[in-house]
Amino acid sequence: MKNPIAFLSVFLLVCFAVTDCSGFGSRISNRKKNSKQDSITNQIKIRVLCSEFEEEFYYPILLGEKKDLLLILAELSQKENPSIRFISTNKTEEIMEINGARNSWKEGWVIYINGETISSSELKLGVRVGKEDKIEIKLIPVERVFGRPMSLNGSPRYKNRRNVLII
């Protein structure tokens, strides 16, 4: 043996090639992938409806997990699936545009969870959703109100107001 380092490197290369061809390395990586996929079996479905398109988007979550809807929408927007633009103030968070369809003076994006309207200030405070929740975002005709609708004691009242977009 004139060059033991060359012999050792060739030997290691052959050993690596044999283990890779036998599938030993891929079995280990597949086990890691399968265990990760087993824990992400649920998906939150978000349905977006407007006159131009109707699409469903899915967000993977862990079994039984609930996440903040605003964070889910922001992560989907970051991936541009769908492309979402928001208007943010100190107290509210509102969807301005989804896939090029924008708010206008006559239409606005309204979020429904299990059939109930979610206001822009509730969205900002945090609304936790899970797999069992029915989430729809619709571009619908709205009445624009400058300022907040107020009850007699001065706190915002949104539960009884339907299709009102506050700007």
In degrees and rounded to multiples of 5, residue 149 shows phi and psi of: -70, 130
**pLDDT value of residue 149:** 33
**DSSP letter string over the chain?**
---HHHHHHHHHHHHHHHHHHHTHHHHHHHHHHHHHHHH--EEEEEEEE-SS-EEEEEEEE-TT--EEHHHHHHHHHHTTTT-EEEEE-SS-EEEEEETTEE--SSEEEEEEETTEEE-HHHHHH--EE-TT--EEEEEEE-EEESS--B-TTSSB--TT--SEEE-
Q: Return the bridge partners of 58, or none.
A: 45
Task: Tell how strand 42-49 and strand 54-61 pair up.
Answer: antiparallel
**pLDDT value of residue 97:** 92
Statement: the pTM of the whole predicted model exceeds 0.85: no
Q: Return the bridge partners of 97, or none.
A: 85, 102
What the block records as the tokens of 46 is 């978000």
Please compute the mean of the pLDDT values over residues 59-68 and round it to a whole number. Answer: 89
**pLDDT value of residue 54:** 92
pLDDT tens digits for range 8-46: 777 767 766 666 666 555 555 555 444 444 444 689 999
Instruction: Say if residue 141 is preceded by a cis peptide, omega within 30 of 0.
Output: no
In degrees and rounded to multiples of 5, residue 133 shows phi and psi of: -80, 140
pLDDT tens digits for range 109-141: 999 999 999 998 999 999 999 999 999 999 988
Task: Tell how strand 84-88 and strand 93-98 pair up.
Answer: antiparallel
